[in-house]
Amino acid sequence: MQRQYLTATEDFNSVEKSVCAPIFKRTFDYEGTSARLEIAVAGFYRLFLNGKEITKGFLAPYINNPDQVTYYDEYDVSSLMKEKGNELIVLLGNGFNNSQDSNIWDFEKASYRSAPKFYLGIFDGENRVLTTDEQFTVYDSPIVCDDYRCGMTYDARLEKQLFENGRKPLFASEPKGKYLKCNAQPIKVIEELKPQKITKCAEGYIYDFGQNNTGVCRLSINAKEGQEIRLTHGEIVNDGELSMANILFGSKTRHGYQQRNWYICKEGKQQFTPSFVYHGFRYVEVTGITEEQATKDLLTYLVIHSDVMLRGSFKCSNETLNKIQDCTLRSDLSNFHYFPTDCPHREKNGWTGDITLSAEQMYYNFEATPSFKDWLTLMRETQTAEGAVPAIVPTDTWGYAWGAGMGWDTVMGELPYQAYRFSGDKSIVEDNIPMIEKYLEFMETKFSDEGLINYGLGEWVEIGLDNGCCSIPTEIVNSLNCMDFLAKVAALFKIVGQEDKAEKVTARREKLVADFRKKYVKDSWVNCKKQTPQVLALAYGVFTAEEETQAYENLLALIQEKGNRYQVGCFGMKFMPFVLSKFGNSAFAIELIAEPTYPSFGYWVEKRKATTLYEAFQEYEDTLERVARKDGSDFIVSHNHHFLGAFTSWFYRVLAGIDVLSADTIQLSPDFACGLEWVEAEYANGGNKLKVRWEKKKDGYHVTVDNQGFNVIPKWQGELIKQDGKTYIVK
């Protein structure tokens, strides 16, 4: 079927030149009995039919490179149709199709860039009765400029002439990407927050909403025509002034362009909610208002993210761990807009390594399989003929030469593995096996003569070092991560019944382990004697059974050398608690995590009062009035990343004992020796629900299990003394 796309202009936004968002309008009669509307956009859209907005949510249909995949949305509009005088309105925004990135990831140089364009069809059964053609009329909207990475400008004065000066649309070429229906969960307003505090600053007022989140602010004001209001969104306030230092890219970022919305008022009472953008922020600097207008009713924080269903919860007797779990959930959600991103402000990129790290903990917390499946579809389309994949998805050309590597590329094994484990959806494995096979061929070209792999990035955000710096040889970390990748890939081949390929991959892994041991393992050490390699080698089974106890003692020695503190990066952090628990030391794992002094998660939530997870561990001056590093460096990391929360799957698997073996089977084995007084967790999958609570009492550990539908296999760490209905007593 031919799909004709329409656009308003051949011009498109740039930093130097703004182009307003176009509105397309069409009136028509309809004699059908049912009506299905299909819309595909290179960019974003809002859709109105007979005066009602029917758009599925914010940033529809998706965030993607249209040369790789063009997603469409589908609506049943039968109940909205009339026989005569139907009115259809489509408002277009630039989206990923035309976004600025301050010359970092080359999006403004992308080959697919164009003004936003769309195809629309209305079907009665299989018969298309209306499509995008010359009968649409295009108008300029009051959205003078929009950029989903940066912000938008809206001139409410232009509403008075909204449907004047119409013109014919232009025909546009169809995007090159595969035409696919979007199944990812939509992006919606999940919560509304009012400001907790308003303070005067040099140029206006700072609105503090008390939490770091993502979304936009709804502006409500009684204003004079022409009054210009500027909203700048950030994470940090220093000495009473909003700081953008951890969001901007220095001189590369155009001043006043990042995370900023401009609103030019009409006369009287009015409301404004931005379209086609979202920001990551706790604070908003408002300029252009009077003291009388600076009320709590001026701004409402609309928290928006993908509408992924919460299916897990965890809490325990240690309040610091509970705060860390809350921060992890908030970071997950504020970085989930169709797919997980690294941060919701300066980048908004789907870094593959971040998703690799967080896949398991996200599956414990959320049902996100439809969104993950659509993102993996994008990833398959980014793979080169040679088999390489980029470090960010979606992308155009950036991320192949720098940023990828075993810890990042392994998402193609880790994500399908966890998706099948938690959902039982075999198709997510079948769909991605061809990409994996192609990548395995590419990976072989990256092995050295010694049989090891030193391709791309290694450990990241190692404690005590700034981003991009690492004290651990990349070959060590990448070779270790490759072992885990090959183990997961072997499991995936078995799931689809390809036992011969699973055996080959297992043999390849065994050779890699042998080659790694030959070069790097001696006397139960990974010979660089750093925490991350020792942790990963213990987690991935590199040491022999005879070596493991001493290898663990060596790890403890490394931790003790640092004053019982971490010195790991993102990969070491994920596996450290699991390794400590494997050797019966969960209490020490909690001590490391909850310690209120730097570097620890406890430092963030207790000393820094964090509401989201930071990008890396940095030590700050002992004041909350400003964010300044103790070592004097000006480099401040993002305060909203999810990947360092990867370890929190340990809360479920070990502390609560809910180890998901498959979509319907759970091994229940709480770690009573962790030093906690009680733990309570819930987990659901489909119609199955499990709630577990254990509590330390004089006669043993009382475990209450409320199971609805799961096959639960108890494996008590102690002797089962008594069972009374849903309660077990273990000593």
Q: What CATH number should be reported for the domain holding residue 346?
A: 1.50.10.10
Q: How far is CA 243 from CA 101, 239, 283, 484, 525, in A?
A: 19, 9, 10, 41, 45
DSSP β-bridge partners for residue 695 = 678, 702
Give the mean pLDDT of 434-457: 96
Task: Say if residue 400 is in the same domain as residue 474.
Answer: yes
Tell me, yes or no, whether 533 and 412 share the same domain: yes
Does position 424 have pLDDT exceeding 90, yes or no? yes
Residue 16 has pLDDT above 80, yes or no: no
Per-residue pLDDT tens digits for 336-379: 999 999 999 989 999 999 999 999 999 999 999 999 999 999 99
Distance of CA 582 to the CA centre of its chain: 29
Percent of the chain residues past pLDDT 90, beyond the cut: 92
> Of 631, 656, 681, which residue constitutes the final position of a domain?
656
Structure tokens at 335: 């970085």
pLDDT digits (tens, 9 = 90+) for 705-724: 999 999 999 999 999 999 99
- In terms of domains, do 29 and 141 share one? yes
- Per-residue model confidence as pLDDT tens digits over 522-578: 999 999 999 999 999 999 999 999 999 999 999 999 999 999 999 999 999 999 999
- Do 31 and 94 sit in the same domain of this protein? yes
**Cβ-proximal residues to 657 (8 Å cutoff; 6+ apart), any chain:** 667, 668, 669, 670, 671, 692, 694
- 521 and 494, same structural domain? yes
- Domain count for the chain: 4
Same domain, 138 and 58: yes
Q: Clarify whether residues 175 and 194 are in a common domain.
A: no
Tens digit of pLDDT for each residue in 481-515? Answer: 999 999 999 999 999 999 999 999 999 999 999 99
The 10s digit of each residue's pLDDT in 111-160 is 999 999 999 999 999 999 999 999 999 999 999 999 998 899 999 999 99
- pLDDT tops 70 at residue 255: no
CA distances (Å), origin 619, targets 327, 342, 463, 630: 18, 21, 10, 6
Domain final residue pick, 159, 184, 209: 184
Question: Are 547 and 436 in a shared domain?
Answer: yes
**pLDDT at residue 46, rounded to an integer:** 98
Confidence band for 653, pLDDT divided at 50, 70 and 90: very high
CA distance 583 to 306: 38
Q: Would you state the pLDDT for residue 17?
A: 80
Average pLDDT, the chain: 96
My answer on whether 164 and 210 are in the same domain is no
CA–CA distance from 606 to each of 197, 611, 687 (Å)?
21, 10, 37
Residues 413 and 514 in one domain: yes
Q: What is the pLDDT of residues 48-92, one digit of tens each?
A: 999 999 999 999 999 999 999 999 999 999 999 999 999 999 999
Is 173 in the same domain as 217? no
Which residue reads 């001056």 in tokens? 621
Residue 13 structural domain: 5-184
Classify residue 580 by burial, with Cβ atoms within 10 Å: 0-12, 13-18, 19+: buried
597, 632, 656 — which closes off a domain? 656
Write the CB contacts of 2 (distance below 8 Å, at least 6 apart in sequence).
none
Two tokens, residue 368: 């996100």
Distance of alpha carbon 570 from alpha carbon 587, whole angstroms: 21
What's 222's domain CATH number?
Answer: 2.60.120.260
3-class state of residue 325 by DSSP:
helix
Mark whether 423 and 537 lie in a shared domain: yes
pTM: 0.97
**How confident is the model over 382-419, as pLDDT tens digits?**
999 999 999 999 999 999 999 899 999 999 999 999 99
pLDDT at 507: 98
